[in-house]
Amino acid sequence: MNNLITRNLFFCSIFFVIISCSEISSRNTNLSNQKKGELYDTVSLAIVGDLMCHSQQFNQAKKDTGYDFNPAFAPVKKYLESADFTFGNLETVTAGAALNYTGYPMFNTPVQYLDALKNAGFDVLTTANNHSLDRGFVGVEKTIVELNNRGFLHTGTARSLDERNNSLILTKNNTKLGVLAYTYGTNGIKIPDGKVFCVNLIDTLQIKQDILKSKQSGADVVLIFLHWGNEYQRFPNDSQKSLENYIRKNGGLLVFGSHPHVLQPVNASNDYKTGFTIFSMGNFISAQRKQYTDCGIIVKMKLIKNLATNEVSVSKANFVPTYVSTQNGFRILPVYDAIESINNKNVNHLSYTSSIIEQTRIKEVWNETNKHMTNMNVGFTALEQ
Ligand SMILES: [Zn+2]
């Protein structure tokens, strides 16, 4: 990969001239390579933005016997569980009932929320965000214990320096993916004395070292999750752009952003080969209802590794627009499925809503999200199935 990146950066301008950035040319290249007998490995990813749990969500999930968050994820489960690895940003802690369950502004969520995420198909949760320390260091520790108990892979917070330095690497067949996560801050909550390892803050030198270490540990490609940007801004700010640039220069090709609570576009060029950044994936679930905060996307991405050259690249990336319905409890609806069920009056469909206000909004969300997120140069378009 290092050679590939260097080569691509060096010849970037030439690439622009001689290669038309279309998905078709990539497919043709892959096809001709395959004809030569080269072998490929593929890994599929599904990635979402902020997994919030406001008090309205856990109040509605409360049952006589505990909490049940499963219905929220049922309509999108098929899109999540079908990927080799499914990622989300856990923007809360599970510090236990004794420390009180609360929503905004300092979150602590019943642990059944994690059960529902597991059941929905999530494999990897990033935990570096401005709410990592909402119950202090104890919250960091307890959340990691609960994540481990459920078999989640996770990164972003740590209980010790050793744990922090043992960076996450995912393996599928012959492909290894490094995963790193950082946050701009912790809402002014001071990092406990002597425990700087407990949450990964955005620090350019540290990120550079971590990317290098991840590659030295065998990662073919490194996925970097950044909790950054301005809340409710639909476009990236200058510091996001300069950090993206820095990360690409230092070998981080894939950047997935969260925190603004609204979608921000992708930046990808040269058939993804110089990198793919999605500045913000928006809210996947929350109780926020304002325009643009009530929707998000599932990024569906396929990585391909050429086993002859060991190069890993993005072969395909698309998105599934989503909308959070509050009719009959919180439910994340895949927008295309919801529109189909509305048009067909399929009232028993998992993605159906009978609320006329929601039906109207869902159709708006389809148009808004397509307009904002589609990048035809690299075939980043909405999936209709
Ligand atoms: Zn945040």
Residue 358 lies in a domain: no
Distance 39 CA to ligand 1 centre (A): 41
* pLDDT of the residue at 20: 34
* pLDDT of the residue at 9: 38
Distance 26 CA to ligand 1 centre (A): 36
Residues 269 and 21 sit within 8 Å (Cβ to Cβ): yes
Distance 89 CA to ligand 1 centre (A): 9
Which residue's entry shows tokens 């072998």? 39
Residue 341 lies in a domain: no
Residue 14 lies in a domain: no
Tokens encoding 321: 């627009």
Residues 197 and 240 sit within 8 Å (Cβ to Cβ): no
- In 3D space, the residue among 71, 92, 101 whose CA is nearest the CA of residue 329 turns out to be 71
Distances (CA, A) of 199 to 38, 43, 103, 291, 310: 42, 28, 21, 31, 32
Distance 228 CA to ligand 1 centre (A): 8
At residue 53's C-alpha, the angle toward residues 47 and 56, to 5°, is 140
Distance 183 CA to ligand 1 centre (A): 8
* pLDDT of the residue at 276: 94
Distance 236 CA to ligand 1 centre (A): 15
Distance 66 CA to ligand 1 centre (A): 27
* pLDDT of the residue at 12: 36
User: What does DSSP say about strands 175-183 and 168-172: parallel, antiparallel, or unpaired?
Assistant: antiparallel
* pLDDT of the residue at 274: 78
Which residue segment(s) compose the domain that 75 sits in? 2-9+23-331
Distance 19 CA to ligand 1 centre (A): 38
Distance 143 CA to ligand 1 centre (A): 17
* pLDDT of the residue at 37: 63
pTM for the whole thing?
Answer: 0.90
Distance 308 CA to ligand 1 centre (A): 41
300 backbone dihedrals φ, ψ, rounded to 5°:
-115, 120
The secondary structure of the chain in percent helix, strand, coil, rounded to multiples of 5, reads 35, 30, 35
* pLDDT of the residue at 385: 64
- In 3D space, the residue among 227, 232, 252, 229 whose CA is nearest the CA of residue 241 turns out to be 229
Residue 80 lies in a domain: yes
Residues 357 and 368 sit within 8 Å (Cβ to Cβ): no
Distance 17 CA to ligand 1 centre (A): 40
| 134-192 pLDDT per residue, tens | 999 999 999 999 999 999 999 999 999 999 999 899 999 999 999 999 999 999 999 99
At residue 336's C-alpha, the angle toward residues 384 and 338, to 5°, is 150
Distance 255 CA to ligand 1 centre (A): 16
List beta partners, residue 178: 169, 222
Distance 352 CA to ligand 1 centre (A): 29
95 backbone dihedrals φ, ψ, rounded to 5°:
-95, 0
Residues contacting residue 7 through CB under 8 Å, at least 6 positions apart? none
What's the CATH code of the domain at 240?
Answer: 3.60.21.10
Distance 185 CA to ligand 1 centre (A): 9
- Those residues of the chain that have pLDDT short of 70 are 1-37, 385
Distance 296 CA to ligand 1 centre (A): 14
End-to-end CA, the chain: 33
Distance 5 CA to ligand 1 centre (A): 31
Distance 130 CA to ligand 1 centre (A): 5
Residue 370 lies in a domain: no
Distance 231 CA to ligand 1 centre (A): 8
Residue 171 lies in a domain: yes
Distance CA 294, CA 285 (A): 8
Residue 183 lies in a domain: yes
DSSP states along 173-214? TTEEEEEEEEES--TTPPPPTT-GGGB-B--HHHHHHHHHHH
Residues 91 and 131 sit within 8 Å (Cβ to Cβ): yes
**What's the structural domain count of the chain?**
1
Residue 169 lies in a domain: yes
